[in-house]
Amino acid sequence: MNLASLLDRAGRGFAGRPALALGERVICDYRALAGRVAVLAANLRGRLGLAPGDRVALIMKNCPEYAELMFACWHAGLIVVPVNAKLAAAEFQYILDHSGARVCFTTPDLAATVGALTGPRAVIEMGGAEWRRMGKGDGMGVASTEADDIAWLFYTSGTTGRPKGAMLTHRNLFAMTWGYFADVDAIAPGDAILHAAPMSHGSGIYIIPHVAAGAAQVIPESGGFEPDEMFRLFAAHGGVAMFAAPTMVHRLVAAAEAADPDLSGLKTIIYGGGPMYVEDCKRAIGVLGDRLAQIYGQGESPMTITSLAKHRFPKAGEPRFGERLASVGMPFGIVDVRMVDGDGTPLPPGEAGEILVRGDSVMRGYWDNAEATAETLRGGWLHTGDVGAFDEDGYLTLMDRSKDVIISGGTNIYPREVEEVLLRHPGVSEVSVIGKPDPDWGESVLAFVVAEPGCEIKMEELDQLCLARIARFKRPKEYRFLDSLPKNNYGKVLKTELRQLLNDNR
């Protein structure tokens, strides 16, 4: 089993269909893409002398060559190591060293930084002489790989500590692909996926189902996320899906409210990777209609734990609408999901515990980190470190990362619940709740609040909101106002930095 066979077949089955587009311009069809990838693969093996199982790093901003290189690596039996292009030089160095990558491909904007890193590896810049030479010569056939061979080393976004490289196999990514079709969205030939989020992460993973289905990969010319550009590209390509972090959905919705663009070319927005609050979700439904789907996953089970599929997305007026929106949906058909308490005992619906996952999408382990692997993959289950609870209907509500749960006076308080309430205040733009060390209670609840521009928020108003909706002991004892929340490059709020801020200002 080799993921590259999907492109090989698409090159014949969807031969004349658009495969890659840069902005509004289609740059190749599936026949051409499959042919080019076979040539790149032959050069990875022949010219660069790489052997099956060698690692190839991609430190590149979003660009059409991203998809070419990923498939070329698999075609040649190699392991691809996509690296978030927004990391610092020291982080690039760590990932290159840790993965032992023998070659690193880079885009011109990053060439100087990557070129200055140390190590015995070739650095090849997109558009440079060596890259042009790699596009010449004869192609090779798809290398024979086993289902459990590693295809992708997925370095976790690392909101704490050193990033770990989740070993994703061909089997894992095939499973993710079938899971997408069954439990996220249908894809028809001629549809498209717009890569506005980093291709080193979720958006890049979604290249695979779209190749399998003969849909085009569209890369914005800006290489990133500009709402006006998105609106133009929806209209230009039609049938467009896009993976977006909740912060991106927020921005897209605000821009659409202001500009009232033509959204007829937008098919689906798949959001995930962080909490989408109910108020934001309702606003998004108001603007985008029934185009939303949600996934909950992590690098260790890529994009595949639970979902609110597009065809099952909650509709206004249906029973428990708000609860459904606050949930992360139901398990993908291809995985088992269960909740356990601190002793590992399975919990019934309604009780919160750590979320465990098993199935074909779950990683083989962490690259060169036996200790972390043994800790995370115990008894055949992936221990996600997330806390959640199922309801009677099988919908999962995610509370928080277990390390973010606040324990005050011996009782668990889930920050997400408090954040949902505070976001109901019209003047609150963003909020993040953490536990502050407290001599009497162990921890007390503290909320960092970002106000909408020009809004002044009274603490009593926030207090009143909480008192009306959640137990008194969950109400923040303290509020701090910030201009913005610290976030990592994938848009996740960095609670560790907020805790640090608290330490520094105490």
- Interface contacts to ligand AMP, rule CB under 6 A: 156-157, 272-275, 294, 296-299, 328, 384, 386, 398, 401
Minimum CB distance to ligand AMP, residue 316 (Å): 20
Q: Which residues contact 327 (CB under 8 A, 6 or more apart)?
A: 308, 391, 395, 396, 397, 398
Contact 34, 214 (CB under 8 A): no
Nearest distance in Å: CB 51, ligand AMP: 29
Closer residue to ligand AMP in complex, CB, 74/154? 154
Check the CA dihedral 94-112-115-203 and report its sign.
positive
Residue placing its CB nearer to ligand AMP in the complex, 218 or 396: 396
Q: Which is nearer to ligand AMP, 163 or 223 (CB)?
A: 163
Q: Nearest distance from residue 492's CB to ligand AMP, in Å?
A: 7
Q: Residues in the chain, how many?
A: 506
Residue 497 beta carbon to ligand AMP: minimum distance, rounded to whole angstroms: 16
Nearer to ligand AMP, 136 or 311 (CB): 311
- Angle of helix 4-13 relative to helix 64-75, nearest 10 degrees? 110
Q: Cα–Cα distances in Å, from 326 out to 94, 122, 278, 420? A: 37, 47, 6, 9
**Shortest spacing between CB 421 and ligand AMP, in angstroms:** 17
Our CB check for ligand AMP shows the closer of 384 and 444 to be 384
- C-alpha 310/C-alpha 307 separation (Å) is 9
Q: Which is nearer to ligand AMP, 234 or 296 (CB)?
A: 296
Give the HSE-up count for residue 197: Cα atoms under 13 Å, Cβ half-sphere.
27
The secondary element (H helix, E strand) that includes residue 115 is helix 108-115
Q: Following DSSP, what letter does each residue of 263-297 receive, concatenated? A: -TTEEEEEEESS---HHHHHHHHHHH-S-EEEEEE
275 neighbors 398 (Cβ within 8 angstroms):
yes
Tell the residue number behind the tokens 């969205």, with chain if given: 185
Nearest approach in angstroms of CB 393 to ligand AMP is 18
We find the least distance from the C-beta atom of residue 228 to ligand AMP, in angstroms, to be 26
Cβ distance to ligand AMP smaller for residue 21 or 328 = 328
